[in-house]
């Protein structure tokens, strides 16, 4: 039976349960209740989103004629207002106030960690080139801190200008890549593939509106390409089941083949997934041909609103509200307000080369060889096809992470600060269920016995790699490459785990032309212990709670 009330979730009994029992209980609870966030968590994000919009309005007021709420329709599609929207969004994200912040971003306390981490010497980081002089260390130096602080100041400086000039943008465009050399996490946090690309367009384009159109079209198109995998069918029912607005238990069950025994996506869920894929292709392929106001524009904008509206209405984990609102605004500004601006009016050879590289070459490589490119740079959003990791700590060895300089402890420790032991354990079970319900997450049950010498959860504590990256690096956004062998090495350098104290299961994403997932089992002390490939078709036949070989 599923323990419905929290009072029945006995933590003593929970600690004795094996993987199968934990995931069985966790997944059944997840289908009926999602992660069970209280109303206050959603109110927090509503306030944060309101402050995001008001912050943009505030900085627009530095430009004469902009920023007045009473007649916002007269200035909302002004070019400077649009530029400040992306400069403001980049600042918000690089400081950690946007995606993956607050309760829905798995940040209980403190709710914002990135800027606390990036401004503190000695914190752990992941340099793009390890060993590079001055910037290639695994811990942050005063130079790293200075570069990050200069980036933040440069963004603020641009935001308070009456008009945005090249002299305001050059420092930003120069500083973010320098920050990334020292810590690639900063570039991902700043949304290098979207916000930064727009800023580069502001700087280099002859007509930056034309250039920005290419960026926005690429965002939607590659997001659609990433859905061309069987994994995406699992994402929609998992996301929808976590929607607190969905009160019908019957509809929640209908998202899966046969609740509670077969939790593969149902025909209804797959239809919803196909509809989402259609919208992500239909929006850019329609707006691509818009040259004036007319039916084609209205149809394309309808696709955009349906796409982002569906995501927003699900109140998804990861807290991507600001990004979705910004994408809607970009669609209205670029295509509804300026439909006559030709896509071929970019007017800059260097920018054209840049756009070809970041909008075509990088995403293509990221889909063909996902181990080489972040899913963010490859624009594979919400596809269910990402690298991920399971960190397994033996006999309380996670306490050694206290040797790191961190902005926040592990998620379970944060939960225990605000919730009862029973509530914290139940929410922890929900996170495990969330991972196991995904198609790729079913590798966990397959590999746990190998990684833990046959004793999963008897001697080992499971922590999702996202939670480790959030604690050790100050930021994460579903990017498994932030918690793979590079982070293991950086953590081992400071924590000195004994053999067997820390084992990590690393799973790579599926190449778009492949059908397998490359996995590794890594011991922090010894290195790679085992590796292989898992067939997606085999994983699809596994239950989320299956443990060991089928």
Neighbour-count burial of 256, counting CB atoms closer than 10 A to its CB (0-12 exposed, 13-18 middle, 19+ buried): buried
What is the predicted pLDDT for the residue at 453? Answer: 80
pLDDT of residue 133: 94
- Residue 390 three-state SS: strand
Q: What pLDDT was estimated at residue 308? A: 96
Q: How many residues does the chain have?
A: 550
b/e burial code for range 503-520 (CB count within 10 A of at least 16 → b) = bbbbbbbbbbeeebbbbb
Question: Cis peptide before 260, with omega less than 30 degrees from 0?
Answer: yes
Q: What pLDDT score does 36 carry?
A: 83
Residue given tokens 């942050």 in the structure block: 140
pLDDT, position 9: 64
Q: Which two tokens stand for residue 359?
A: 């909008």
* pLDDT at residue number 457: 79
| Residue 3, pLDDT score | 34
Q: What is the mean pLDDT of each run of 10 residues along the chain (550 residues)?
A: 44 82 91 89 96 97 93 94 98 96 92 96 96 95 98 98 97 98 97 97 97 98 94 94 92 95 95 95 96 95 96 90 97 97 96 98 97 95 92 95 95 86 81 94 94 82 95 94 97 97 97 95 97 96 90
Strand-pairing partners, residue 503, are 392, 523
pLDDT at 7: 40
Q: Of all helices (H) and strands (E), which one includes residue 209?
A: helix 208-226
Q: What pLDDT is recorded for position 1?
A: 28
Query: 3-state secondary structure string, 483-526?
Result: HCHHHHHHHHHHHCCCCCCEEEEEECCCCCCCCEEEEEEEECCC
What pLDDT score was predicted for residue 550? Answer: 65
Judge residue 359's burial from the number of C-beta atoms within 10 Å of its C-beta, 0-12 exposed, 13-18 middle, 19 or more buried. buried
Q: How far is Cα 233 from Cα 276, in angstroms, rounded to an integer?
A: 10
Can you read off the two tokens belonging to residue 64?
Answer: 């004469």
Residue linked to tokens 């509200």: 321
What burial class does residue 43 get, using C-beta atoms within 10 Å of its C-beta: 0-12 exposed, 13-18 middle, 19+ buried?
A: exposed
């Amino acid at each position: 039976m599923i323990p419905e009330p929290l009072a029945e979730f006995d933590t003593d009994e929970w600690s004795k349960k094996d993987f199968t029992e934990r995931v069985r209980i966790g997944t059944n609870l997840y289908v009926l209740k999602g992660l069970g966030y209280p109303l206050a968590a959603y109110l927090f994000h509503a306030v944060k989103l309101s402050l995001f919009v008001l912050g943009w309005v505030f900085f627009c007021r530095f430009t004469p004629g902009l920023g007045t709420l009473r007649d916002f329709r007269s200035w909302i599609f002004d070019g400077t207002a649009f530029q400040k929207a992306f400069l403001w969004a980049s600042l918000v994200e690089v400081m950690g106030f946007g995606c993956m912040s607050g309760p829905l971003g798995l940040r209980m306390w403190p709710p914002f960690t990135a800027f606390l981490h990036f401004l503190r010497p000695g914190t752990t980081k992941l340099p793009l080139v390890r060993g590079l002089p001055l910037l290639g260390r695994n811990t942050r130096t005063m130079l790293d801190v200075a570069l990050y602080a200069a980036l933040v100041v440069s963004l603020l400086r641009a935001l308070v200008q009456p008009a945005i000039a090249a002299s305001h943008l050059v420092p930003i465009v120069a500083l973010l890549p320098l920050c990334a050399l020292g810590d690639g996490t900063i570039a991902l946090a700043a949304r290098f593939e979207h916000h930064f690309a727009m800023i580069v367009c502001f700087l280099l384009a002859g007509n930056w509106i034309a250039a920005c159109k290419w960026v926005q079209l690429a965002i939607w198109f590659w997001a659609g390409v990433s859905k061309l995998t069987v994994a995406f069918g699992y994402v929609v029912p998992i996301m929808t089941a976590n929607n607190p607005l969905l009160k019908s238990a019957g509809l929640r069950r209908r998202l899966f083949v046969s609740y509670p025994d077969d939790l593969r996506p149902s025909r209804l869920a797959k239809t919803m997934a196909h509809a989402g894929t259609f919208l992500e292709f239909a929006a850019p392929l329609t707006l691509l041909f818009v040259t004036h106001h007319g039916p084609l524009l209205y149809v394309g904008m309808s696709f955009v609103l349906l796409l982002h509206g569906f995501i927003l209405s699900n109140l998804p984990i990861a807290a991507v509200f600001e990004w979705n609102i910004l994408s809607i605004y970009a669609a209205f500004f670029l295509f509804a307000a300026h439909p006559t601006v030709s896509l071929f009016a970019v007017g800059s050879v260097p920018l054209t080369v840049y756009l070809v590289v970041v909008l075509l070459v990088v995403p293509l490589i990221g889909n063909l060889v996902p181990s080489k490119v972040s899913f963010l740079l490859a624009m594979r959003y919400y596809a269910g096809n990402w690298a991920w990791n399971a960190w397994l700590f033996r006999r309380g060895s996670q306490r050694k992470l206290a040797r790191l300089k961190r902005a926040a402890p592990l998620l379970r420790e944060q939960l225990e600060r605000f919730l009862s032991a029973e509530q914290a354990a139940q929410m922890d079970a929900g996170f495990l269920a969330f991972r196991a319900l995904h198609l790729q997450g079913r590798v966990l049950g397959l590999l746990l016995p190998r990684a833990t010498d046959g004793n999963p959860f008897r001697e080992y504590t499971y922590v999702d790699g996202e939670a480790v990256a959030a604690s050790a690096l100050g930021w994460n956004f579903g990017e498994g490459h932030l918690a793979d062998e590079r982070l293991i090495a950086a953590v081992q350098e400071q924590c000195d785990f004994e053999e067997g104290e820390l084992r990590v299961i690393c799973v790579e994403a599926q190449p778009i032309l492949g059908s397998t997932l490359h996995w590794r089992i890594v011991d922090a002390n010894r290195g790679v212990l085992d590796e292989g490939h898992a067939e997606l078709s085999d994983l699809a036949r596994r239950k989320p709670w299956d443990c060991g070989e089928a």
